[in-house]
Amino acid sequence: MDFPRLQIAFLAGALLLVHVIFLDLTLNVTYLFICATTLCLLWQLWWVLPYTVFWRKEVKTSKVTNHNSTFSVMTANVLQTNHNSGALIDLVSKYQPDILVTLESDSWWEGRLNVLDADMRYSVKCPLDNLYGMHVYSRLPFSEEEISFLVEKDVPSIHLLLTLRTDDNVQMHFVHPAPPSPTENEESTERDAELITIARSVADTEQAVVVTGDLNDVAWSATTRLFRKISGLLDPRVGRGMFNTFHANYPFLRWPLDHLFHSSHFTVKRILRLPSIGSDHFPLFTELVYNPVRGSEQNGIQTDSEDRKQAKIISDEKDVSKADVPTPIE
């Protein structure tokens, strides 16, 4: 029930209006209905309001104009059965991301995206036909790249050390854990274990870090909040908007499933949900600025010993250790 909090809040607000307009306000039972509905509305808003402009921004807006300290990431779940590769290539041409990560990309998609190799000379390619293929294309050089299967043998993640134009290095982790579903995993334990184990790993480094991909989880869920607590990473959407990327075809059933989290080394220049490419996901474009001095003023969600204990239990349940996560080191 983490997913439909926004929709439930909308329905609770509409129901509250119905109570006020159509029910007899002289009856005590009417006020019981109004109170119950109001509590429901407030509870749902408590979770989703941080992802609106009414909340304080967690990540500062960049004031730096130096192009060398700026880099951008485009995340695109292409939908394996979608063959509208031209739409994605056009967006890459228009927005010129430094990093493109594609999810659900198989050999067909790899063949179509080979045209990017001329401008994006660095790449890691993991084509799969099981909806978990992944490709990373980059204009910036990287090293120590590794494809890892942390929790499930057919669900990859990609890890590498990116070198910015300033010669500073950034740990990059690209993820797409399997969602809980009747056809894949009955529960969310596999997804949770992958996310939390990566969070435990990056928490141990002082290096700049970015984690991005389709997490198959909403931004306000208990798991994603635990990920942020344990990792110490920041969410640039807080105070800016939800940037709902899924489902592209159903406006009322949209959630923020594609994410980018980063360490306090960065401030944010802009975040955009890009136009449809024929997939069930919209691409997400994020432009960050490497500015450790100003970024040191930023703070995410605080953690405690109970959070760390819970995180270890989640990892241990799937027999995965933070030592299993590739950690590119400069």
Q: What is the DSSP letter of 311?
A: H
What CATH number belongs to 67-324? 3.60.10.10
- Of the two residues 63 and 181, the one the predictor is more confident about is 63
pLDDT for 184 equals: 57
Mean pLDDT of 236-263: 96
Model-level pTM? 0.93
Q: Is 37 within 8 Å of 16 (Cβ atoms)?
A: yes
Distance of CA 253 to the CA centre of its chain: 18
- Give domain limits for the chain: 5-51, 67-324
Place of tokens 């209905």: 33
Q: Can you read off the two tokens belonging to residue 197? A: 């184990």
What digits encode the pLDDT tens for the residues 22-78?
999 889 999 999 999 999 999 999 999 999 999 999 999 998 878 899 999 999 999
What digits encode the pLDDT tens for the residues 71-119?
999 999 999 999 999 999 999 999 999 999 999 999 999 999 999 999 9
- Of the two residues 187 and 102, the one the predictor is more confident about is 102
pLDDT for 327 equals: 87
Q: Can you read off the two tokens belonging to residue 52? A: 């609106």
pLDDT for 247 equals: 95
Q: Is 19 within 8 Å of 31 (Cβ atoms)?
A: no
Q: How far apart are CA 285 and CA 97, in angstroms?
A: 8
Asked if residue 173 has a cis previous peptide bond (ω within 30° of 0), the answer is no
Inter-residue long-range contacts of 39-45, CB under 8 Å, 24+ positions, other chains counted: 40/8, 40/12, 41/9, 41/12, 41/13, 41/16, 44/5, 44/6, 44/8, 44/9, 44/12, 45/9
What are the backbone dihedrals phi and psi of residue 174, each rounded to the nearest 5 degrees, phi first? Answer: -110, 125
What digits encode the pLDDT tens for the residues 260-277?
999 999 999 999 999 999
Query: Residue 10: enclosing H or E segment and its boundaries?
Result: helix 5-22
Secondary structure (3-state) at 293: helix
Whether the predicted pLDDT of 181 surpasses 70: no
CA-only gyration radius of the chain, Å: 21
Half-sphere exposure of 109 (CA within 13 A, CB side): 33
Q: Can you read off the two tokens belonging to residue 316? A: 């241990």
pLDDT for 183 equals: 54
pLDDT for 63 equals: 82
What digits encode the pLDDT tens for the residues 127-151?
999 999 999 999 999 999 999 999 9
What are the backbone dihedrals phi and psi of residue 20, each rounded to the nearest 5 degrees, phi first? Answer: -70, -40
Residue 207: exposed, middle, or buried by beta-carbon count in 10 A (0-12, 13-18, 19+)? middle
pLDDT for 185 equals: 57
**Averaged confidence pLDDT in the chain:** 94
